[in-house]
Amino acid sequence: MSTQRIVTAAVLTPLVVSALLFLKTPYVAAIAAGIFLFGLWEWSRLVGIDAPLRRAFYVMANIILMAALPWGHAVPLFGAVSLIGVAWWLVAILWLMRPDFGREAGRWSSSLKLAAGTLSIIPAWCALVLLHYGSPNGAHGDANGPRWALLGLVMVWVADSFAYFFGVRFGKRKLAPHISPGKTWVGLWAGVFGALAVGLVGAQLVGVKPSQLPSMAVLALLTVIASVVGDLFESLMKRHSGFKDSGTLIPGHGGVLDRVDSLLAALPVLWIAKGWLEL
């Protein structure tokens, strides 16, 4: 399985990096929307929606929402939606503290989890678009925007990889045994270390001054903590549904949602914290 993970990552990573660095923001936004929406299709399966027509209706409703945000020069709304995403993930932490909440199948539980899917996917997409464009209000672009978007993704990727490999090899004490038995405290700290290293090394590439490195360290720390929350929340949804993976599309990694779950929480937090820390 580890070999599959490495081979798949080696194939997909150059494609993602090239897209972020060389495509204009509208094209990145369209590609990201497709990826996130496929993850939302998988999400609907996790929350107990089996009928393809109902799942398609749910995804279509989110497509309309995505399309409506930039319509009529409403790009400044992206920042507000990203902030809503941060607020949602703070609520999600409370949900993680009560992992049995919403476990029972039913219309109320499914509706709540579908709303959670939208609150996870749409703000993450908005935050990625803003990071890539490099403007808090959509009025102008920033040459460092694509690099910021890439750095954010790399911090999360490295944190995930460090957490996986160090957790498997050295981890004993479980981080959240009732949600995701495979995650360990060793993995968490390894992921934090990896994200901090990437953030500080990559700071110069995105225009961060040496005097701002402490703020950059805080940004990396907040981002990786958020990524863990996103990962755990998707694990909780899988635990409620009884599925091991969200899908089988990506060899060695599971479904699309299994690959973007950490990003769903990390991206809004990264964008909002970046502005708050004036980076």
Please give the pLDDT value at position 48: 81
Per the CB < 8 A criterion, the answer to whether 235 and 180 are in contact is: yes
> What CA–CA distance (Å, rounded) separates 258 from 197?
24
* Count of domains for the chain: 1
> What CA–CA distance (Å, rounded) separates 204 from 210?
8
Nearest to 250 by CA among 17, 39, 14: 39
Nearest to 163 by CA among 186, 134, 137, 197: 186
CA angle, 92 then 94 then 97, to 5°? 115
List C-alpha distances in Å: 28 to 36, 81, 96, 279: 12, 18, 32, 22
> What CA–CA distance (Å, rounded) separates 262 from 147?
19
Residue span of the structural domain in which 227 resides? 2-276
What contacts 69, CB < 8 A, 6 or more positions away? 75, 77, 78, 81, 122, 126
> What CA–CA distance (Å, rounded) separates 223 from 208?
16
Please give the pLDDT value at position 238: 87
Please give the pLDDT value at position 139: 45
Question: Helix 256-276 and helix 77-97: axis angle, to 10°?
Answer: 120
Instruction: Take residue 133 and report the two structure tokens written for it.
Output: 């464009």
Per the CB < 8 A criterion, the answer to whether 104 and 98 are in contact is: no
List C-alpha distances in Å: 42 to 9, 46, 119, 170: 20, 7, 15, 32
The torsion angle over the Cα atoms of residues 62, 46, 229 and 270, rounded to 10 degrees, is: -20
Per the CB < 8 A criterion, the answer to whether 230 and 90 are in contact is: no
Q: What is the mean pLDDT of each run of 10 residues along the chain (279 residues)?
A: 68 88 92 93 86 92 88 72 96 93 83 94 95 64 85 94 88 88 91 95 92 95 96 90 69 74 95 93
Nearest to 258 by CA among 191, 185, 132, 164: 164
Nearest to 264 by CA among 64, 149, 127, 146: 127
